[in-house]
Structure 1
Amino acid sequence: MPGTSPLAGRTAVVTGAARGLGAEMARALVRRGARVALLGLEEGELARTAAALPQGATHWWAVDVSDAAAMEETAVGVRSRFGSPSVVIGNAGIAEAGPFLDSDPRVWRRVVEINVVGSAMTARAFLPDLLRTQGYYLQMSSLAALAPAPLMSAYCASKSAAESFAQVLRAEVAHRGVGVGVAYLSWADTEMIRAGDTFTALRALRSALPWPASRSYPAPKFAERLVRGVESRSAAVYAQQWVRGVRLARPRLPPLVVLRSRRLMRYLEKNGGLMATGPLGAGGEAAVGGRAAGPSRLGPVREGGEAGR
């Protein structure tokens, strides 16, 4: 609650805040009395998210997290408006699915660019602030980093890389008072996951998982648990406690996944269920479309609906 949380009066930055889990975490942070900078690609969605929150508690910047110069400019804008952040959540991420051989190399690369390079550029832009405030950086990872999933090569690779990046960053800055955590979660009920469920292969992939890994969980509940992890500056944050067990079993998972996948892949090949999805959901489409627009991509950084300084 505001006034009792260690986040009260602090500034937090959330990337991928236009929709889904990022927007839910922004709401949870505001409920705890934080000022929140919303970063994302979709100006209209960012504006709607900000408008639904108390006036003055948030401000939004439309920016491509993989663009180092744009992120540096955004960090200046956040610092000017709210002061140096104490919390940064690297949440921006997109996904695509399908057989690796049939995937569009441009889309595959963009998933890695947003999920890995974007995380690194986020940390690089705001790390000077976190050093000043002795703050905390939370990197969003996934169950996909712990267990390799067929048809999800770009997403699994990128989430594993983002996890490793955050662990290296933790080792580099811990002696300077900055905390770094990695968040692990399974299927959140977001627009991206619902988009994936429209494809036969992804529905089959999820239904083949043992319970409770096969079910979706409400995004607001995920957000509350993740923000509690931020409050405690945890090194590992679990959206569901059973994911902790999956992490412990990690070395044994790859051969089990291969064993269980043989039958599934044969079935999908036989029944024509294998196809590349392209970017999943409106957020993914915005990320790939923005990147394809040319060298300047999204144009100038947009701050609260006006051109950034």
Structure 2
Amino acid sequence: MTCHGRRDRPGGFGTLEGRVAVVTGAARGLGQGLAYELSCRGARVALVGLEGGRLSRLAADLPGVAAHWTVDVTDADELATAAEDVRRTLGTPSVVVANAGVVLGGPLLESPADPWRRVIEVNVVGSALTARCFLPDLLRTRGYYLQVTSMAALAPAPLLTAYCASKSGAEAFAHALRAEVLHRGVGVGVAYLNWADTAMIRAADETEAFRELRAHLPWPASVVHDPAPYVRAMARGIERRSVHVYAPPWLRGAQVARALLPSVVARRSRRVLADRGESPLPPTGLLGPGGAAADPSRTGRPDPDPYTSPEE
């Protein structure tokens, strides 16, 4: 990964130079990529996530000033402590990105209750607690909060009940928060993202439930994309204090058509799933190494997978 930001621009509106940006779920995937991009654009980056070893190595790899905090975003006390430490270490945040998320696939009836609930807790409650803990900083700095969601907020799909519910909930939360704080100078945006080539999606594609789901999605919704353009789109959205960020851009069309999409998805799914008869798809569990780190049933952290520098 190389720097795309322009660090030689003068300070002022739209520049990230010298500003403190908090990114949750920063240990890997889109969070890791966004942290690097924001650092390239001059931000002082606070990395928040569950995988302390990866976060430490990422902090050392970033081109600018960075520090990391090992935090479960569903733990209000841990988040509050981290927020205070971020202020002391890096300064008052003016950008907060709620990116932490996990996914579970499979039919609702077959899905264990605890992992299903964990998706809601991380993706919705974790986002709300992140906003709550850092909102005093954003009010002081008249800053910007970006809520990361997905196409699942626009077009709910079968086999993803927890994920779709959580992303729709996170979207609604961000819209409500915007209405609550806009008059106080705080911007709130929502990022709608399609499939990105991350460890989570690669793990998903190894499961029967996700292979079945993606195989029957129409183009271009079925395509997995390089995450780099998504990262750049989010960074531009942060600089512009955008209300909406769409990556790929065609998701704007899905936004326009969202009232029709549930019926379209239901009709298509009815045909596809009926062909399986009574053969249920097995649930996936929380997917990928990030999902393993977020699984409270594990007694320890997952074995570390090879860390790749964002510069490589």
Question: In structure 1, what is the equivalent of residue 22 of structure 2?
Answer: 13
Question: 1 CA distance for matches of 2:213 and 2:118?
Answer: 23
Residue 7 of structure 2: aligned partner:
2
Q: Of 260, 269, 292, which aligns to 1:261? A: 269
Q: Aligned letter for 2:256?
A: L
Q: Calculate the TM-score normalised by the size of structure 1.
A: 0.91
CA deviations 1:230-255 (Å, max 9, x no partner) are 11000011111110100110110111
Q: After superposition, where does 1:46-85 map in structure 2 within 5 Å?
A: 46-54=55-63, 57-85=65-93
CA pair 268-277 structure 1, distance change in 2 beyond 3 A: farther
User: Is 1:183–1:236's contact at 8 Å kept on the other side of the alignment?
Assistant: yes
Kept in 1: contact 2:107–2:280 (CA 8 A): no
In the alignment, structure 2 segments of 5+ residues that lack a partner are 1-5, 302-312
- Secondary structure class of the residue paired with 1:2: coil
Contact kept in structure 2, 1:201 and 1:268, CA below 8 Å: no
- Give unpaired runs (5+ residues) of structure 1: 299-309
Which residues in structure 2 correspond to 1:241-280 (within 5 Å)? 241-269=249-277, 272=279, 274-280=281-287
Asked if 1:200 corresponds to 2:205, the answer is: no
- 1:292 is paired with a residue of what secondary structure? coil
Corresponding residue for 1:282?
289
Structure 2 CA distance, aligned partners of 1:293 and 1:199?
20
SS at match of 1:279: coil
Given that 1:64 and 1:70 are in contact with CA atoms closer than 8 Å, whether structure 2 keeps it comes out as yes
* Segment of structure 1 superposing worse, 206-215 or 7-16: 206-215
**What is the CA RMSD across the aligned residues, in angstroms?**
1.5
Report the Cα offset of residue 49 of structure 1: 1.5
How far did residue 287 of structure 1 move?
0.4
CA deviation digits over 1:63-97, x for unaligned, max 9?
A: 00011111000000000011110100000000000
Residue 257 of structure 1 and its aligned partner are, at CA, apart by: 0.6
Q: How does 1:103-142 map to 2 (within 5 A)?
A: 103-142=111-150
Deviation, 1:199, is 1.2
Number of matched residues? 292
Provide closer, same or farther for how the CA distance between residues 7 and 103 of structure 1 changes in structure 2, counting only shifts above 3 A: same
Q: Deviations over 1:239-284 (max 9, x none)?
A: 11110100110110111111100122123456x5611000000101
The separation in 2 between residues aligned to 1:269 and 1:118, in whole angstroms, is 37
Output the CA distance in 2 between the equivalents of 1:77 and 1:171.
29
Q: Does 1:222 align with 2:227?
A: no
Aligned-pair identity (%): 57
Q: Matches of 1:199 and 1:192 in 2, distance apart? A: 11
Name the amino acid aligned to 2:8. G
Which amino acid in the other structure matches residue 3 of structure 1? Answer: D
SS in 2 for 1:38: strand
CA contact (8 A) 2:209 2:283 kept: no
Give me the whole-angstrom Cα distance separating, in 2, the residues matched to 1:134 and 1:218.
32
Q: By percentage of residues, which structure has more helix?
A: 1
Once the two structures are overlaid, the 10-residue window that deviates more, 212-221 or 162-171, is: 212-221
Q: C-alpha displacement at 1:109, in angstroms? A: 0.4
* Distance in 1 between residues matched to 2:277 and 2:36, nearest whole Å: 43
Query: What amino acid is the match of 1:49?
Result: L
Mapped contact 2:20–2:45 kept (Cα < 8 A): yes
Q: 2:243 aligns with which of 204, 227, 235?
A: 235
The match for 1:45 among 54, 73, 83 is: 54
